[in-house]
Amino acid sequence: MPPEDHSAPPAVTLRPVPTLVEAARHASPTTLAVERMLPVLPALAGLVPDGLRRGSSLGVSGPVARSLVMALMAGATSAGSWAAVVGDPDLGLVAAGEVGVALERLALVSPPEPSAWGDVVGTLVGSLDLVVVAPHHRVGAETVRRLMARVRERGSVLIRIGDGPWPDRFDLTLTVVDGSWEGHGSGHGRLRLRRAEVVATGRRAAARERRVVMMLPSPDGSPTAPELLGGG
């Protein structure tokens, strides 16, 4: 995925990002109870009204998918959950902090070799609450089946970011279908916010399509409460 521009000045103080070993050591097994939901920011309630269901998978794609994923991580990490991002070196820590991601509970993992990808992600799924993957290769169906079995067993949430092929249907799919920056004076001056339209579809309780418009980000870097367009 191409890097996303964030023209607003930094508004957060960066803390050292924990290593994978530190994340696994500090993650609490009690947070992996399947009956619980991972919370989301109020701005995302129109997309995921009850939060992120443990044991589920999400696919996030579109022009500002990375910003939406950071917003999804913000609610969970600020409530005490640990998250990892695998294979997305363009993730901006300043932007993540402005959205509300607790950087001290976020592990960044370099892209593994394709032969080791499934084992690396499986280890993370077994230890952390939320795992975001941006694979740089075609992931096999058997690998995904094993991962999803572990996701359901451990009560984690797996988020795939990007537009490439994936050999399974996601429990929830969030697609950014439009995103435009806005500033002062009909395009003159600093770009302050980005209006994004997001479509949510899924399985079971999430089968009904929902469309929302939200500011991603707003002038302070955080997402604003969306405007419901339809469904819900």
Tokens 């070196």 sit on residue: 89
What confidence tens digit (pLDDT) does each residue in 203-223 have? 876 678 888 888 887 777 778
Domain ranges for the chain: 20-230
Q: pLDDT-derived band of residue 7, with 50, 70 and 90 as boundaries?
A: very low
pLDDT single digits (tens) 176-204: 987 666 665 445 555 566 788 899 998 87
CATH of domain 20-230: 3.40.50.300
Q: CA-to-CA distance for 193 and 188, rounded, in angstroms?
A: 13
Would strands 56-61 and 157-161 be described as parallel, antiparallel, or unpaired?
A: parallel
The pLDDT score that the predictor gives to residue 213 is: 86
Residue 9, CA atoms < 13 Å, CB-side half-sphere: 0
Q: How many helices (H) and strands (E) does the chain have?
A: 5, 11
User: Cα separation of 224 and 230, whole Å?
Assistant: 18
State pTM to two decimals.
Answer: 0.81
E strand map for 5-114: 37-38, 52-53, 56-61, 83-86, 106-109
